[in-house]
Structure 1
Amino acid sequence: MRFDFFRTTGASAAKDKAVPGAPAQTREEPSDELGGPREASGYVRHALQLDPQQRVKGYRMAWLATPGTAPVPDASSQFIALLDNIARHLNPPRTGWRLGRLVLFLDVTVDGLFLAELQSLPPENVVLCMGLGDLSDVDTRSMLLFLREQGFGFMLKDADGLPADPELREIITHLDVGDGDPERVARVRAEEQPGRAPVQLVASRIDTWAQAGACADLRVDIFVDGALAHPPVKEGGDALQPESVMIVRLMHMIQRNENVRSIESALKRDAALTYRLLRHINSPAIGAGVEIHSLRHAVAMLGYAPLFRWLSVLLATSNRAAAPFMTKKAITRGRFVELMGQGMLPPGEADNLFVVGMFSLIDQLLGVPMAEVLAKVQLAGSVQQAILAREGVYAPFLALAEACETDAAQAARLSEALFVGSGQVNAAHLAAMVWSQEADAHDGAV
């Protein structure tokens, strides 16, 4: 049973220590709407946790105060703001945890350990990142043991190796190995004791994909954020793979509003593609309410425009040589761009916004130059203008999505230009992460 060491109200924590074992305060239900009532002045940032196959295992979350904010919020205030956004959008009371088996890594101070907002998160999906000094604090040892017993993981950061304290070793589940130096990795693994679960190693300071490859060889996970350039791809000139060619053909048929029977006939030539398309359409991200069993049923329920969207998702996943995390990144960006445009552009623009965001990375996914891809798919002129030149009505939303991946200061400036607050941006950011996970729920390729 959990108990709260501090009573809290909303996003602010009163530092009134509660008696251990006393009933916890009922959790306030936050708003799920974009730009909810408890908007904080700052931006959510995330880095991807990638396994050696470059699949997404989790996210390392951070809070960056809005540039120019005075006074600058202290670490506790920023952590509370981050937890509030996570609770509101990733773990709302009505639905619970929305990222499946993915794990969140949170940098936490000693004070943060005692927050009820933290204890409301599913422990098996949270790893708390702390330095050796904080972890060794004898006054917090009982709380560390309590949280570990509940299922929270702990990552030791900024340390050369595992601590000598055996009780502390029992708490630590992950170790930050910096740049993944092979000697350091070997030394840590040599320190592990037989019969105990091995500590998971994660390299947090990856500056090149050569380093990432070396970590993969050592079976070490990595954290990658938007500041790292996209991984190199094998260029295929203008040659799309056979499945990609079929998907492009279907997209052309939908653009020409061809009869659904003709589209269905073409799709039936590839049973595996039909299966994947229907699995995507039946994913929680669509929320159609009924299971769709055929293309004709999908068109009747959803129309042609959403079908074009899902074919574009399949196109993004059609190159098996592409890094899996790039597919998730493209789909997340597409959804983010779409959500930011909602309410600012006509409802009919939603699918174009999604395609702009996702296709902005399509050359990375297919290994084909952008101009060649767009020449084959023949998207609307306004969509191509945003992707190729970052101009036109969709461009500001794409620019904001890219800034949120790399530069909080730029994100703040672009948000201001669009007359949207950080709360709305954060809501779109986290909702897009959820949507990409739900889209992935029925297809392991994403």
Structure 2
Amino acid sequence: MRLTALLAAPLLLAAAAPSPAGSAEATAAVAAAPAAYQLAWADEFVGDAPNTAEWSYRTDTKGSQQRPENVAVGGGLMTISLCPKNRAGANCGTTVDSGGLYTGGGLISKRRLRYGYYETRAKTNVGKGWHSAFWAAQLGGTSPQTEIDGFEVDSVAPAKIRHNVIGWDQGGLRTSGIYDTFDTSAAFHTYGFEWREDSVRFYVDGVLVERQGVPVTYPADSYLHNFLNVWLTAIAYPPAAPDVDESALPGKVQFDYFRFYQRDAYADNDTPAGTYTESGTGWTTSSVRGFAGLTARFSCDSGTAGRWTITPPATGSYDVYFYRVGGSGGQVDAPVTVWDGSTALIRSRVDLTQASGWVRLGNQALTGGTSYIVRIDRDGAGCIRADSVKLVRSN
């Protein structure tokens, strides 16, 4: 986790998150996603090992040496063992060469996600010197980029928590600062964040923790919103690392699950899942900024087409939008069509000479889990540009 000293711009968060009902030892109830969200991907940590088809191990050296053998799955939990120097594995039972460092660990999702509701349920460790976090940032990404911290807890003060939205090299830091809450090491609690095009909202045990419900403003037209890996981690971290409470080792941080929910659906030429394809010749990356600061594509050759495969998360009525990357030289009446197999559901013409922004194509009843095609074709003078499409739930 990249922490900074840039804590001067406070979020509109309450001074303290509400405490769960009952005693500090009680397990908080599992929180639900905000209304209209549909579960899109989850790992409940069943079985006897991490699912390496979905997760990579954190293996860097930062304060501690992060090691795969410190991460285990069993009993419906993912457990990160926090170990003395040159020890690792479950309950720190293996001697290793960690260069004289403590050892920690974590998991990093192989999926890269963007807008939706992210949630985990976790219990931190007892004993100072460790930094536990639930966060999202692109693995190996270079700035500018986005980082969102669902929670950060330094074990020297387990009853204090922090949430951040960081626009690295974009002049953007929004932080709650460190505020008082319940003892995060005494019981499991639920932490979530909802990322939208214009904002981020943080939840603790299902309660929105911004003051008066005001979200963290973080608009896509001002910041780069890239696709993020999810990190569930616990590491010794300077300046805490020199002061690790060795009497509390072996220690552990546990995660009950990770869940990702969607309300709307997006498809982008930059989507890691490969939901965008091109046909014809002359396709080139545009110098014009695409949606959320990512790239756009264009072609000026006859007979070319760009197409997105997009899948609504649930059955319902959706407004269908096309992101117009506008400017001189564009086709003034480029055809954009929404297809269900060979059936055209919506036909529209978009003037690509106009300013960039979302263009509503129409409203359509769509079936959850069914893949639809949105296609732009060049059938006239000028160039076509292809970037993003989205389905926005309207009922």
TM-score by length of 1: 0.25
TM-score by length of 2: 0.27
